[in-house]
Structure 1
């Protein structure tokens, strides 16, 4: 029996430490300190929306970082890729959309747990108000990248400010 982790398992350690744990920690603390009420469906929706945006940024930052770091006994993935003449990046156009792949997997007998809505967006039925919320939020936070950067580097205040701003804008527009 092998005692070594598979490469994918090693990557999850990085995903958790760079993306999941910083977000979970700040959200747990905010909930424990009664700064947010995760039983409120509107708050839950706002938390989900901002958290997903931050997760996406975390993943986008993680991949280049992972590919540029040295793996003991293996080398640096980017250098290995560049020196290997037998591989090439495939254009995304060659792959079907994830929805198509998921449907085919289910038709072939597989099962997937599809993500459902998290909370209730009171602006869901009004596209103009949703766009207005996005504009108002982006006036205060024009770039979400620094929110995640600060959070990962031990400063949750920017994330908290962004979350409270998003919740307040959503609440104001829905009343």
Structure 2
């Protein structure tokens, strides 16, 4: 029957093309493989999440939320933080995105400090093959991204939020990053403490860290690393990424606006709690307050 309905597929099966089992994933120990990936479900609102996860333990060892994916931020808060805290990984695995260039540059720079130097210091694959880190995103989407997105979509539908306005874009990104970061931190803590069937608890499996530790001063700061990258590669990296237009002309103006906002909304966790429980009004009103404060301080 298959030969009649779908002859090319039937022919492939006869030749064994479809019967080849994929090679099972292997990570031999904590520090063997470090997977890094980004989530851009809220990118149109100025929110991007990046995580790094150890392949052996499945522990999320570092994460960061930022307005736009940025090489220096990812290097400092995700790669560098993970290596300083847990040690040096033999191999870093990422997709082909340019946002990981600085991480890969430093990983190769420190290749001689790894436990197993026979392995390639990093591998770039398609995101569909980075399954180890991809498994966390459904959790982040359900617990964080979708509730925040729903609150913002409602505001756009009600025409109370104009994402074509650079100031509104900046304020939306600013508050959404703060609120989302709380949710991601909670999701990461829950993930690292849960038991994975047939494997164990990530926190327990990762408790001894990587086999090779490196002193913190061996890892350059983000700006120093970016300077070295430019000298070595001949290309410059974006130092700071801003979503929309920063309305503040000075640090004093920004601090004054934040102080005024904190008087009205002293606890950002309250905003996340209400949003994740599908009560969007408090978050929506706080965003409108932030926009009004920003306009008054222009």
For this structure pair, what is the TM-score category when the shorter chain's length is used for normalisation? Answer: 0.7 to 0.9
* Map 1:86-101 → 2, pairs under 5 A: 95-101=219-225
Report the alpha carbon displacement of residue 126 of structure 1 after superposing the two structures with TM.
Answer: 2.9
Match of 2:170 among 32, 38, 45: 45
Unaligned runs of 5+ residues in structure 2 are: 1-21, 26-129
Instruction: Please give the alpha-carbon distance, in whole angstroms, between the structure 2 residues aligned to 1:94 and 1:3.
Output: 35
Structure (1 or 2) with the larger CA radius of gyration: 2
1:81–1:87 CA contact under 8 A, matched in 2: no
Give secondary structure in 2 for the equivalent of 1:55: helix
Instruction: Please give the alpha-carbon distance, in whole angstroms, between the structure 1 residues aligned to 2:166 and 2:187.
Output: 31
Higher helix share: 1
Match of 1:64 among 189, 192, 200: 189
Higher strand share: 2
Q: Which residue of 2 aligns with 1:133?
A: 257
2:24 aligned with 1:24, yes or no? no
Unaligned runs of 5+ residues in structure 1 are: none
Superposition RMSD on alpha carbons, in Å?
Answer: 3.1
Match of 1:145 among 265, 269, 274: 269
1:68–1:76 CA contact under 8 A, matched in 2: yes
* Map 1:99-118 → 2, pairs under 5 A: 99-101=223-225, 116-118=241-243
Tell me: higher relative CO, structure 1 or 2? Use CA pairs within 8 A at least 6 residues apart. Answer: 1
Give the count of matched residue pairs: 172
Report the alpha carbon displacement of residue 128 of structure 1 after superposing the two structures with TM.
Answer: 2.3
Change (3 A) 1:62 1:171: same
2:173 aligned with 1:54, yes or no? no
Q: Which residue of 2 aligns with 1:119?
A: 244
Give secondary structure in 2 for the equivalent of 1:120: coil
Report the alpha carbon displacement of residue 98 of structure 1 after superposing the two structures with TM.
Answer: 4.2
Instruction: Please give the alpha-carbon distance, in whole angstroms, between the structure 2 residues aligned to 1:152 and 1:93.
Output: 40
